[in-house]
Amino acid sequence: MNNETILQVQGLMTEFRTERGIVNAVNDVSFSLERGKTLGIVGESGSGKSVTNLSILKLIQYPPGRITAGQVIFKGENMFEWSEEEIRTVRGKHISMIFQDPLTSLNPVIKVWYQIAEALRLHHGMSKKEAKAKSIELLKLIGIPDAEQRADNYPHQFSGGMRQRVMIAMALSCDPEILIADEPTTALDVTIQAQILELIKNLSREKSTSVIMITHDLGVVADMCDSVCVMYAGRIVERAAIDDLFYAPQHPYTRGLLDSIPRIDRAGGSRLHTISGAPPNLIDIPPGCPFQPRCEKAMNICSKQSPPEFIINGDASRTAACWLHAKEYNNG
């Protein structure tokens, strides 16, 4: 496999101006995505996962949101220097998104086939007839029975799982190079979740689409991803290849997350581990590490200075933003 980097996000900062102050939703986030690979972005609600990915396509509504710094380099070009029209030619064609809630992400008054064909019509100027034929093909591909009849249905005539399939068909209609899936299974029940994930996995493998999988479910990450970024309070606190993350977590927050998963192989009776406290208010982030108030291993420096990302074992794709990994504190 060639390790061609298709998307690179550098130093991304996104803020929201609210009445109570400026919310730094994304704070200096950098990552890169390789062709054909799946990158997981994990974090709890409000950690900035979705905003990061909406920022990539500049889908943040200007008031109140604003991207204040950073670069998004797609195939060697910085998309943030492009005009709105130029970015529009990328959206849905080269980079497309699947949203969390299939119930509200489809327009209730537009027929299903037309919504699937929207990107095709916008980007390739397909005629209605061609577009409809293509959507029926896509409906078959995602496993909707009676695709010919179902194409003329409205979204409310579809079940939740089928609607999420339709969203996938919509996102994949133009054979994008990158698929951003923003918690694609959160609104679905467990059996459907597995089917949807399988579908995304198979389709992306077939077309060697790169996937950014945003989720708070570590099970999904283990199942789908090649590498993972863990986000906390708008920053990436740890990045790792999938196995390294689960077998050797380096950041206390990641360790806490992993310990919070109920395990079938562990002796019963013991209480489930939780991370005490709540995520910090992003309006005025205290100096130092944002995880420090909740951290079991907090040291003096943690409340004073924000840790940079420390490279672990000399592998640049393996980092943890924690003072425990600084040379002067790292003595075992």
Segment 231-250, which members bind another protein (CB under 8 A)? none
185 lies in the site for another protein, by CB under 8 A: no
Q: Are 53 and 41 in contact (CB under 8 A)?
A: yes
Q: Are 208 and 35 in contact (CB under 8 A)?
A: yes
101 or 130, CB closer to another protein? 101
DSSP character string of 254-314:
HHHHHHTS--TTSPTTSPPP---S-PPPSSSPPSS-TTGGG-TT--TGGGTS---PEEETT
269 lies in the site for another protein, by CB under 8 A: no
Nearest Cα to Cα of residue 170 among 149, 151, 193, 146: 151
Query: Residues for the chain: how many in total?
Result: 332
Find the farthest-apart pair of alpha carbons in the chain and give their distance in angstroms, rounded: 68
Indicate which single residue of 78, 107, 159, 305 sits in contact with another protein (rule: CB under 8 A).
107
Annotate each residue in 52-91 with x if it binds another protein (CB under 8 A) or - if it does not, as one string.
--x--x-x---x---------------------x--xxxx
Give me the least distance between CB of 252 and another protein, in Å please: 35
Give me the least distance between CB of 9 and another protein, in Å please: 17
Nearest Cα to Cα of residue 53 among 36, 40, 35, 68: 40
Phi and psi at residue 54, in whole multiples of 5°? -65, -35
Indicate which single residue of 13, 35, 44, 101 sits in contact with another protein (rule: CB under 8 A).
101
Indicate which single residue of 11, 17, 18, 110 sits in contact with another protein (rule: CB under 8 A).
110
Indicate which single residue of 167, 178, 181, 320 sits in contact with another protein (rule: CB under 8 A).
167
Beta bridge partners, 77, equal 74
Segment 114-143, which members bind another protein (CB under 8 A)? 118-119, 122-123
List of residues contacting another protein (CB under 8 A): 54, 57, 59, 63, 85, 88-93, 96-97, 99, 101, 104-110, 118-119, 122-123, 167, 170
